[in-house]
């Protein structure tokens, strides 16, 4: 995915197009991992792989491109009730899952404290926080 795919006019920015892009990122990371897992594995080789760098750049560009009003899937309505946008839920989940997918080779008992591994652990914590927040609310799931 190139950074050009991240730039959309505001009138075309919504939960569904973001979900498609997040799914594309996740698919790209799966494809990379399948290709990478066929070869010889070294930590240094993995971290210096240009495709890995591009995918991480794409994920970061995607995150940065999210408008502030579309960064949270759970919203509190005027009456105090909570609503969950399922498409934004998937955007958040697929984006973090893409990072986790790329980081799977980085999490070992020897490397878990490295910066790259910390990025993965941060994505895992973000998903858990989101699930805890979802579980702690009374919510209504609706398509917008």
pLDDT digits (tens, 9 = 90+) for 82-132: 788 889 999 999 999 999 999 887 777 777 777 778 888 899 999 999 888
Provide the CB-side half-sphere exposure for 61 (13 A, CA): 16
Higher-confidence position of 108 and 143 = 108
Q: What is the number of structural domains in the chain?
A: 1
In a domain, 96, yes or no: yes
Q: What pTM value is reported for the model?
A: 0.80
Any idea of the CA torsion for 40, 106, 101, 133, to the nearest 10 degrees? Answer: 170
Which domain does 82 fall in, by range? 12-141
The pLDDT of 39-63, averaged and rounded, is 88
In a domain, 2, yes or no: no
Q: Report d(CA 30, CA 137) in Å as an integer.
A: 32
The pLDDT of 35-47, averaged and rounded, is 80
pLDDT reported for residue 6: 53
């Amino acid at each position: 995915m190139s950074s050009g795919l991240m730039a959309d006019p505001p009138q075309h920015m919504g939960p569904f197009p973001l979900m498609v892009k997040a799914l594309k990122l996740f698919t790209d990371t799966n494809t990379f991992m399948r290709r990478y897992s066929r070869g010889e594995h070294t930590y240094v080789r993995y971290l210096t792989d240009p495709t890995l760098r591009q995918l991480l750049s794409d994920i970061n560009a995607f995150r940065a491109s999210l408008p502030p009003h579309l960064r949270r899937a759970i919203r509190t309505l005027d009456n105090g009730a909570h609503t969950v946008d399922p498409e934004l839920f998937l955007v958040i989940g697929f984006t973090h899952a893409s990072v986790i997918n790329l980081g799977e080779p980085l999490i070992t008992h020897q490397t878990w404290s490295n910066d790259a591994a910390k990025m993965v652990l941060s994505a895992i914590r973000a998903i858990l926080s989101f699930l805890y927040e979802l579980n702690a609310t009374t919510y209504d799931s609706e398509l917008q």
